[in-house]
Amino acid sequence: MKNIKLSTKHLEKLDESLYSYQNSSPLIKPKLVSINKKLAKKLGFTNEQIDSKEFIEFINGSYIANGSNTYANAYGGHQFGYQVLSLGDGRALNLGKIGDQHIQLKGSGITPYSRDGDGRAVLRSSIREYLVSEAMYGLNIPTTRAMAIIDSSTRVYRNYDVETASIVLRTSSSWIRFGSFEFAYNSKNPKENLEKLADFVIDESYPHLKDIQNRYEELYFGIVDRTIELIVLWQSVGFMHGVMNTDNMSIAGLTIDYGPYAFMEEFDKGFICNLSDKEGRYSFENQPFIAQWNLYVLAKTFSPIANEEILESYNDQFIGRFKQSYFELMANKLGLVDYEYHKDNNLITKLFKAMEDDNVDYTSFFYGLSWNTLDLEGKNINAWLGEYHQRLQQESISQEERLDKMKKINPKYVLRNYMLQDAIDAAEKDDFTLVNDFLEIAQNPFGEHPEYEYYTKPKPEWEPLRCSCSS
Ligand code: AMP
Ligand code: MG
């Protein structure tokens, strides 16, 4: 792997309190579960390297590439509304950057931030993270990505089970979280550390702000803007993150740290995908409000370097702006090009109600609408369809043009939890076919994939599968 060079030069710009050098603890008998060749090639790995023994060692953290100097990041956060001063990469290790991408191993052993954890990640949650990051990428939603996953003979203990330890190699243009700013804010030199951190973030993720006045204020505005865009996209595909703690919120507006996430199946706006979330703080309909809440926490941490009141009033507009773009995107999903905010929002709101009343599957509804193949029984949804077809009379484009547009934004596939569970069950018996096939589907969710048609619908004996935080 001679041509693979990693760089940790960026650390010179980050205060030393924000990271710790740490070696990996490689897994025993690592074996490859899946490689995302498209991403590997993009990063500069050749076919020969991908097939080499060093490649698995690289993912296992036992092959140290040129220029690599491994470290874990410190951060704080608000978990389920409560402040935790000291969190950090408890099981992730950064190897350095290739180009503008940070290369990170998740599950490679304990770090100074592991607290009571073992620094490991089990196979099931690693498969979930590996596949969904590529699914979000395939759906054109800002996200970290995943290049490979290995399993091993190393054992880990979760609840009452014995499981095997895995590692996912993740990449991202930034790993800075809202919680990183909380950490700097609570440090001994908040002003200095925050300025350094904000400049670091501008350098990596908002380079257009580099030389402008009030750049910290503008940075905050940029983070609000990107967060709005991200949550609009999540809601539009029915994505639920499940653990929107401030330490899981990316400063660059990416989806990060996938845990008990789910995609909406039979529509239920109050759906809670995380079994550990007893009160539904992170339910589907709460996501925009929680994002805004998290941004208020972030505004407070900016107070030593910017005018907090100005930041807060910018964030006050979050929900109004969110609604505007969300309804516009939903109108696009319905193929309405001559969209009128108030009138059509009413139609869209009625759709949600009808879907909920008749237990309509979210993804296959929009897909069926785009291909003119809907055949639903529910009284409410059919009444709504009648209203929708009337509304279409006022559209200035032809049906063909409309369906063409809709096909481009309404996917056939999302990663349903039972689908992931099938891949996990097989992988736990050493059969990685589904993981690899689903990677292909995840990256091309608008494609046909006729052999997997079965997964375009909710499971016949439908009962939503929920996950907990334990992973
Ligand atoms: P999460 O909610 O999964 O993002 O994790 C919250 C915090 O707990 C992060 O700081 C993680 O690094 C840490 N953590 C989670 N699982 C483990 C583990 N098995 N060992 C060490 N730290 C962990
Ligand atoms: Mg996390």
User: How does pLDDT run along the chain (471 residues), one tens digit per residue?
Assistant: 888 899 999 999 999 999 999 999 999 999 999 999 999 999 999 999 999 999 999 999 999 888 889 999 999 999 999 999 999 999 999 999 999 999 999 999 999 999 999 999 999 999 999 999 999 999 999 999 999 999 999 999 998 899 999 999 999 999 999 999 999 999 999 999 999 999 999 999 999 999 999 999 999 999 999 999 999 999 999 999 999 999 999 999 999 999 999 999 999 999 999 999 999 999 999 999 999 999 999 999 999 999 999 999 999 999 999 999 999 999 999 999 999 988 899 999 999 999 999 999 999 999 999 999 999 999 999 999 999 999 999 999 999 999 999 999 999 999 999 999 999 999 999 999 999 999 999 999 999 999 999 999 988 776 778 888 777
Task: Please state, in angstroms and rounded to a whole number, the distance separating the CA atoms of residues 97 and 319.
Answer: 36
Query: Closest-lying ligand to the alpha carbon of 76?
Result: 1
CB-CB neighbours of 290 under 10 Å? 19
Output the residue whose Cα is nearest ligand 1's atom 16.
117
Q: What is the pTM of this model?
A: 0.97
Q: What is the set of active-site residues?
A: 247
Q: Of all atoms in ligand 1, which is nearest to the CA of residue 156?
A: 19
pLDDT given at position 113: 98
Strand ranges (E), 143-291: 145-151, 155-158, 161-172, 239-240, 262-263
Task: Please state, in angstroms and rounded to a whole number, the distance separating the CA atoms of residues 279 and 272.
Answer: 9
Which tokens sit at 167?
């590692």
N- to C-terminal Cα distance for the chain? 32
Quote the ligand 2 centre to 351 CA distance (angstroms). 34
Of 188, 199, 180, residue with least CA distance to 305? 199
Query: Candidates 25, 83, 87: which one to mutate for ligand 1, based on the most atoms within 8 Å of Cβ?
Result: 87
Q: Of all atoms in ligand 1, which is nearest to the CA of residue 111?
A: 21
207: three-class secondary structure by DSSP: helix
Tell me how long the chain is: 471
Distance (Å) of CA 173 to CA 11, 354, 385: 14, 40, 43
Which tokens sit at 448?
């046909």
187: three-class secondary structure by DSSP: coil
Q: Tell me: the pLDDT tens digits for 440-460?
A: 999 999 999 999 999 999 887
DSSP calls for 253-315: S-B---SS-EE--B--TT---BTT-TT-TT-GGGHHHHHHHHHHHHHHHTTTTS-HHHHHHHH
DSSP calls for 28-76: SS-EEEEE-HHHHHHTT--HHHHTSHHHHHHHTT-S--BT---EEE---
Task: Please state, in angstroms and rounded to a whole number, the distance separating the CA atoms of residues 137 and 171.
Answer: 12
Element (H, E) at 122: strand 121-122
Query: Closest-lying ligand to the alpha carbon of 73?
Result: 1
Q: Tell me: the pLDDT tens digits for 43-73?
A: 999 999 999 999 999 999 999 888 889 999 9
Q: Which amino acid appears at position 107 of this protein?
A: G
Quote the ligand 1 centre to 117 CA distance (angstroms). 7
Task: Please state, in angstroms and rounded to a whole number, the distance separating the CA atoms of residues 54 and 181.
Answer: 37
Quote the ligand 2 centre to 92 CA distance (angstroms). 10
Q: Tell me: the pLDDT tens digits for 182-209?
A: 999 999 999 999 999 999 999 999 999 9
Q: Of all atoms in ligand 1, which is nearest to the CA of residue 87?
A: 10
| 258 touches 133 (CB < 8 A) | yes
Query: Closest-lying ligand to the alpha carbon of 248?
Result: 2
Query: Closest-lying ligand to the alpha carbon of 79?
Result: 1
Which tokens sit at 231?
């949550």
Kindly list the protein residues whose Cβ atom lies closer than 6 A to any atom of ligand 1: 87-91, 113-114, 117-120, 243, 248, 257, 259
Output the residue whose Cα is nearest ligand 1's atom 12.
90
Task: Please state, in angstroms and rounded to a whole number, the distance separating the CA atoms of residues 192 and 214.
Answer: 16
Quote the ligand 2 centre to 142 CA distance (angstroms). 17
Phi/psi of residue 41, nearest 5 degrees: -65, -40
Q: Of all atoms in ligand 1, which is nearest to the CA of residue 88?
A: 10
102: three-class secondary structure by DSSP: strand
389: three-class secondary structure by DSSP: helix
pLDDT given at position 141: 98
pLDDT given at position 468: 81
Q: Residues within 5 Å of ion ligand 2 by Cβ? A: 248, 257
Output the residue whose Cα is nearest ligand 1's atom 22.
90
Query: Candidates 91, 124, 273, 471: which one to mutate for ligand 1, based on the most atoms within 8 Å of Cβ?
Result: 91
Say which DSSP state 361 is in.
B
Quote the ligand 2 centre to 219 CA distance (angstroms). 23
Quote the ligand 2 centre to 77 CA distance (angstroms). 9
pLDDT given at position 430: 97
Q: Of all atoms in ligand 1, which is nearest to the CA of residue 248?
A: 4
